[in-house]
Amino acid sequence: MEKLEYSWEHLVRRPYGSAMWDIANMDGNDVVVFMVREKRADVEPLPQQVGVHWRSGGIGMMVQGQRVMPVVVMMNFIPLESIYEMWFNFYGEAGSTVQEAFTLLGRQDRLYALFFDTGPELVRGFGFNNNVGHFFRGHYGICKALPPWDDNLFNLAKHQLQSERGVRELWNYLEDSGIGRVPMVDGRQHGAIDPDLGDYRVPPSAR
């Protein structure tokens, strides 16, 4: 039987700088929270208001002849001069949970960044305006229209993306390529998406 662990429990065993997401309950509502492990001494003295940029993107790829679309949320946390990436596997074994996360991110008002160090208690938590809601509302349908992929293919795709691009390069790529954009309803395409995702893949220049 595979050992289960809480999200925070997993995170605090990972190196500093690790980041992931979970669905948790805040004031009676289920919300997606973004969790980061950083040193208490770095996070505790941060001011009440901090500058943050968020970006999201769905990166369609062909892996072993099958379409896979890893979705990434990136948080540029200005006071720590750090960019974090967190991944969503729409069809992973935790599929229904991930799909619920898409739905929640599509409608929750805030994005939450929660900082942990060694235990389950938050060192600091910050709430921001949700500017990726539109992206997640659009990409729920886009991912749903794709044939399901398995965890292995997702991990291969993620590994390929990470080996092709550093965090900073991926951050710039999401903006420059327009891949974080949702396709237009008037037929214009951004992020090279078409109904069967025929040309939706990392462009040659990105390889």
Partner 1 sequence: MEPGTTPAMLFGKLKHMEETHSLKDIKDMARKAGVSPTGTKRDILLKVLEKKASTWQEPVTAPMTVRGYSRRPRRQWAEQEGRRWRN
Contacting partner 1 within 52-71 (CB under 8 A): 52-55
Stretch that binds partner 1, among 58-66, 140-148, 167-175, 196-204 (CB under 8 A): 167-175
The Cα 123–Cα 152 span in angstroms is 34
The only residue of 164, 168, 194, 198 in contact with partner 1, by rule CB under 8 A: 168
> How many chain residues touch partner 1 (CB under 8 A)?
80
Q: What token pair was written down for 87?
A: 């991944």
- Kindly state the helix (H) or strand (E) to which residue 54 belongs, with its residue range: strand 52-58
Of 194, 188, 191, nearest in space to 202 by CA: 191
What's the min distance (Å) between Cβ of 92 and partner 1? 6
* Shortest reach from residue 23's CB to partner 1, in Å: 6
Choosing from 166, 198, 199, 203, the residue that interacts with partner 1 (CB under 8 A) is 166
- The residues facing 67 across adjacent strands are 62
Q: Which of these segments, 1-9, 61-69, 139-147, 196-204, binds partner 1 (CB under 8 A)? A: 1-9
User: Binding mask 73-102 vs partner 1 (x if CB under 8 A, - otherwise)?
Assistant: -x---x-xxxxxxxxxx--xxx--x-----
Which 112-151 residues touch partner 1, going by CB under 8 A?
112, 114, 120, 122, 125-131, 133-134, 151
Q: Under a CB-based contact definition with an 8 Å cutoff, are residues 64 and 12 in contact?
A: no
Nearest approach in angstroms of CB 163 to partner 1 is 11
Work out the number of other CB atoms within 10 angstroms of the CB of residue 115.
Answer: 23
Among 66, 99, 103, 162, binds partner 1 (CB under 8 A): 162
Query: Residue 138 half-sphere exposure, CB side, CA atoms within 13 Å?
Result: 20
Q: Using CB under 8 A, which residues numbered 8 to 47 contact partner 1?
A: 8, 10-11, 14, 17-27, 30, 33
Of 67, 204, 201, 181, nearest to 131 by C-alpha is: 181
In angstroms, the CA 131 to CA 106 distance is 10
CB of 178 to partner 1, least distance (A): 6
Identify the sign of the CA torsion 9, 12, 14, 17: positive
